[in-house]
Amino acid sequence: MFNRIVSGIRSIGHRVIESIWRLGLASRFFMLVLLKSGTSFRRFGLVIRELYYSGVLSLIIIVVSGLFVGMVLGLQGYETLQKYGSESAVGTLVALSLVRELGPVVAALLFASRAGSAITAEIGLMKATEQLEAMALMAVDPIARIVAPRFWAGVISMPLLAAIFSVMGIYGGHLVTVIFIGVDEGSYWSQMQSAVDFRFDILNGFIKSCFFGVAVTAIAVFEGYNAPPTAEGVSGATTRTVVTSSLVILGLDFVLTAFMFRGVS
């Protein structure tokens, strides 16, 4: 009995030490990526290539999901608001939910599973097939040449994708409520415009998505670069990227929201 308690405490201790060690490793790696980012900006072609893979290829899923999320919001919002006779406020509901929360958060979650996992798998496989070591032996730093461009491409893509998601959602809501159901077009837009504030809603949503972009790509490149060089290692790292970034996105969202909308209605 006593032994069991001791070993239980020991395993808790082991896990804590392990995760702190990993956190330290991740922070150190993040610093290295930032320090070695010079190459990415001197040779911007490297980042452009990665923008294609993380940004352009995520576009379809972002556009389609944004459209559907907006349509659902419009439909549900209309059903509820109609009971109170204020269905003209549906534009406000759709826009505020998208711009403040759903746009940055859902786009980041999709981005983590679409682009984040791809980044991890690619870097992990490059490591497993000794490409990173080969590069280091050719006197080319793999962090500067491989990791940093992917990181910056992700950081640039994320806010753009979140904005596209929100706009698609607002037009999706427009499609359902104005064109299908018949809410007045003018009130859809004007109610939205009078309720949505540039600085508080749109700028804050934009800042949120920048944070998410940094978090998701930092996790993705870290997991890839530190993946054990085996098939299971890479697949485990890919799963961890999606799980960790999703949790970090949601946690970070709460913290950022608390900071940004504190004291304001």
Partner 1 sequence: MQRTALDFWVGLFVLIGITALMILSMKVGNLSVYNTSQNYVLTGHFENIGGLKVRAPVKSAGVVVGRVTDIQFSTQTYDAVVTMSLDSRFPFPKDTFASILTAGLLGEQYIGLAAGGDEVMLKDGDKLMKTNSAMVLEELIGRFLFDKASESD
Partner 2 sequence: MPPKTLIEINDLNFSYGTRAILKGINMSMSRGQVIAIMGGSGSGKTTLLRLISGTLRPTSGHVRFAGEVVHELDRDALFSLRRKMGMLFQFGALFTDLSVFDNVAFQMREHTSLPESMIRDLVLMKLHAVGLRGAQHLMPAELSGGMARRVALARSIALDPMLIMYDEPFTGLDPISLTVIGNLIRRLTDVLGMTSIVVTHDVQESLKIVDYVYFIADGVIAAEGTPQQVRDSIAPFVHQFVHGEEDGPVPFHYPAPTYQQDLDLDPKEMPVV
Residues whose CB falls within 8 Å of the CB of residue 261, separated by 6 or more in sequence, listed in order:
100, 200, 204
Q: Among positive and negative, which fits the CA dihedral 45, 50, 55, 58? A: positive
Q: Determine, following the binding rule CB under 8 A, whether residue 196 of this chain makes contact with partner 1.
A: yes
Which of positions 67-96 make contact with partner 1 (CB under 8 A)? Answer: 84-86, 89, 95
Distance CA 125, CA 123 (A): 5
Determine contact, residues 96/205, Cβ cutoff 8 Å. Answer: no
The tokens of 116 are what? 């984040």
Q: Which of 145, 150, 174, 240 binds partner 2 (CB under 8 A)?
A: 145
Work out whether 106 is an interface residue with partner 1 (CB under 8 A).
Answer: no
| Binding mask of the shown chain, residues 25 to 64, with x at each position contacting partner 1 by CB under 8 A | -----------------------xx-xx--xx--x-----
Please name which of 153, 132, 134 lies closest in space to residue 41, comparing C-alpha atoms.
153
At closest approach, how far in Å is the CB of 225 from partner 2? 16
Judged by CB under 8 A, does residue 140 bind partner 2? yes
Q: Does 1 bind partner 2 (CB under 8 A)?
A: no
Which helix (H) or strand (E) segment holds residue 178: the answer is none
From partner 2, partner 1, none, interface partner of 133 (C-beta below 5 to 8 A by class): partner 2
Q: Show the site string, 153-172: x = touches partner 1 by CB under 8 A, - = not.
A: ----x-xxx-xx-xx--x--
Burial 34-66 (b: 16+ CB within 10 A, else e): eebbebbeeeeebbeebbebbbeebeebbbebb
Q: Which amino acid is at 181?
A: I
Per CB under 8 A, which region of 112-120, 128-136, 164-172, 182-190 contacts partner 2? 128-136
**Residues in contact with partner 1 by the rule CB under 8 A:** 48-49, 51-52, 55-56, 59, 84-86, 89, 95, 99, 157, 159-161, 163-164, 166-167, 170, 189, 192-202, 206, 264-265
